[in-house]
Amino acid sequence: MKQLAWALCLTPKVLLLATAAALLPACTSVIESGLEPQVLHEVQDGPRPWTDAAPNYDADAVRFAIFSDLTGGERAGVFELAVEQLNLLRPELVVNVGDLIEGSQERVEIDRQWASFNERAQESVAPVFYTGGNHDLLDQQLRTAWEERLGPRYYHLRYRDVLFLVFDTEDHSFERLGEIAKLRQQAIAVAKESGWGEFAKTEYANLPEDETGMISEAQSAYMQRAIANNSDVRWTFLLMHKAPWANNNMSTWLAVEDALGERPFTVFHGHRHTYQHTQRNGRDYIRLATTGGVFLPESGTSMDQLVWVTVDKSGAHIANLKMSGILDKTGKRPGNGEHLCLEPQDCPGE
């Protein structure tokens, strides 16, 4: 496979003293040979004005981005800014951890919300792969709308030698789905009337399902097959909204972990709107904050964020990016970003 010419010839970190005419044949020969690129220079002897580290180059590296919850009262303009910032970063693909729309009991309103989200997501120069959250899936009307508009609620995809498992953590029976949805509607009404502090005291907020969600036997079996059929991948990423491992008795989740075995993997989830990094069985389990959702600073580290992931020959490298600090070439946030509040301490009225 031919290497990309710019990776060798246009790296800004090195001093190239040869002429352009002299460089081109050297670039071409390395590219066509399949060798890793080398720094070209004319300093023959003695000290050199750079360090000894080799260029951080991996022709097989995969770079993707993640965004988080939009809901609980989406703050206008934040997701649009996130898309503009992602376009500056140029990931190969974009994934997320669910809660993409606010949700409704009315199909017309659900369709309006999906049309709005889809229109904004289409502005991404990289493909955006959807994950469902409770706002997207937690009643029959929402589930039907998802399946009619978007297809499967859980799925997997393989990009080069990286596997993505996308879960539906609202995979309840129809009967239980209706029971939880009713309690959730009551809790949302409390939040709108009295704030999210009171929401935390509602029956819905204290259900085990609010923390852990649900993975059905069918979904668990599907993910186990996807894992078995992709045993040669370099890394596996699991994307979901809620944290099924929070209920250690959920056998369907434990079966997925068992199927993963010793392979390297990372789990990303959302739902609580605060950032948290934990480890389970030596693997990273990362809960993201928000990308335009309601701030809940009393519950932990709250911010609008994106995540940048690079998978290369040495592993998976994860960088959390505060949206407040992703600036364009003018030194400002792109679009209307300068007028947005992206961290709770900067917007006490949010």
Give pLDDT tens digits for 80-121. Answer: 999 999 999 999 999 999 999 999 989 999 999 999 999 999
Six token digits for residue 300: 């932990």
The pTM (predicted TM-score) of the whole model is 0.87
Q: In the prediction, which pLDDT does 348 show?
A: 66
Kindly state the percentage of the chain with pLDDT values over 90.
Answer: 70
Distance, CA of 104 to CA of 277 (rounded, Å): 31
- Kindly tell me if the per-residue pLDDT of 326 is higher than 70: yes
Six token digits for residue 186: 């009551």
Q: In the prediction, which pLDDT does 181 show?
A: 84
- Kindly tell me if the per-residue pLDDT of 38 is higher than 90: no
Strand partners, 237: 164, 266
Express each pLDDT in 168-208 by its tens digit: 999 999 899 889 888 988 888 888 888 878 888 898 888 88
Choose among 254, 180, 255: nearest CA to 211.
180
Q: In the prediction, which pLDDT does 350 show?
A: 56
Question: Which residue type occupies 308?
Answer: W
Q: In the prediction, which pLDDT does 9 show?
A: 37
Query: What length is written for the chain?
Result: 350
Sheet with 305-312, strands from edge to edge, namely 93-96, 62-67, 305-312, 315-322
Express each pLDDT in 239-269 by its tens digit: 999 999 998 889 999 999 999 999 999 999 9
Q: Residue written as tokens 């004005």?
A: 49
- Mean pLDDT, the chain, rounded, equals 89
Express each pLDDT in 331-343 by its tens digit: 999 999 999 999 9
Express each pLDDT in 271-290 by its tens digit: 999 999 999 999 999 999 99
Name which of 27-31, 85-89, 134-138 the model is least confident about. 27-31
Q: Show Cβ contacts of residue 157 under 8 Å, excluding neighbours closer than 6 positions.
A: 129, 163, 164, 166
Q: In the prediction, which pLDDT does 90 show?
A: 98
What burial class does residue 205 get, using C-beta atoms within 10 Å of its C-beta: 0-12 exposed, 13-18 middle, 19+ buried?
middle
Six token digits for residue 116: 């709005």
- Kindly tell me if the per-residue pLDDT of 1 is higher than 60: no
45-49, 207-211, 307-311, range with greatest mean pLDDT:
307-311
Domain 62-171+213-346: give its CATH code: 3.60.21.10
Name which of 4-8, 113-117, 342-346 the model is least confident about. 4-8
E strands, 185-342, where? 235-239, 265-269, 276-280, 283-287, 305-312, 315-322
Choose among 103, 322, 302: nearest CA to 191.
103
Question: Which residue type occupies 66?
Answer: I
Q: In the prediction, which pLDDT does 14 show?
A: 39
Domain ranges of the chain: 1-51, 62-171+213-346
Question: Which residue type occupies 210?
Answer: D
pLDDT band at residue 34 under the 50/70/90 scheme: low
What burial class does residue 57 get, using C-beta atoms within 10 Å of its C-beta: 0-12 exposed, 13-18 middle, 19+ buried?
middle
Q: In the prediction, which pLDDT does 15 show?
A: 39
Q: What is the three-class DSSP state of 42? A: coil
Kindly state the percentage of the chain with pLDDT values over 70.
Answer: 89
- Rounded (5°) CA angle 89-94-100: 120
Q: In the prediction, which pLDDT does 24 show?
A: 42
Question: Which residue type occupies 237?
Answer: F
